[in-house]
């Protein structure tokens, strides 16, 4: 879902920021190319790579635990 100007972008996560505050762990991180959102390439993700990896692992565990 690419934002084509219909809504205002959150200025905290636009591509011109040098440091972003992670919404989950409240730590500032310096974004790079892998932190650009795939859904909307105009902004960065709200969480850092470490929090995204943690959430991905928790989702896998939950998915396999409830597979039966």
Question: Is residue 46 a contact partner of residue 60, using CB atoms and an 8 Å limit?
Answer: no
Round to whole Å and give the CA distance between 12 and 16: 9
Q: Does 48 reside within a domain?
A: yes
Q: What distance in Å separates the CA atoms of residue 53 and residue 2, rounded to the nearest whole number? A: 24
Whether 61 is in a domain gets the answer yes
Type and span of the H or E element at 57: helix 49-65
- Kindly report, residue by residue over 22-64, the tens digit of the pLDDT: 999 999 999 999 999 988 888 999 999 999 999 999 999 999 8
Q: Is residue 13 part of a domain?
A: no
Cα 21 from Cα 12, distance rounded (Å)? 8
Q: What pLDDT is stored for residue 12 in this prediction?
A: 87
How far the first Cα of the chain sits from its last, in Å, is 33
Position 3 in a domain: no
Residues spanned by the domain of 49: 20-65
What is the total count of domains within the chain?
Answer: 1
């Amino acid at each position: 879902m690419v934002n084509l100007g219909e809504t205002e972008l959150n200025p905290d996560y636009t591509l011109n920021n040098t440091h972003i505050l992670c919404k989950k762990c409240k730590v500032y991180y310096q974004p790079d190319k892998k932190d650009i959102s795939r859904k909307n390439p105009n902004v960065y993700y709200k969480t850092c790579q470490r929090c995204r990896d943690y959430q991905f692992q928790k989702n896998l565990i939950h998915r396999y635990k409830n597979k039966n």
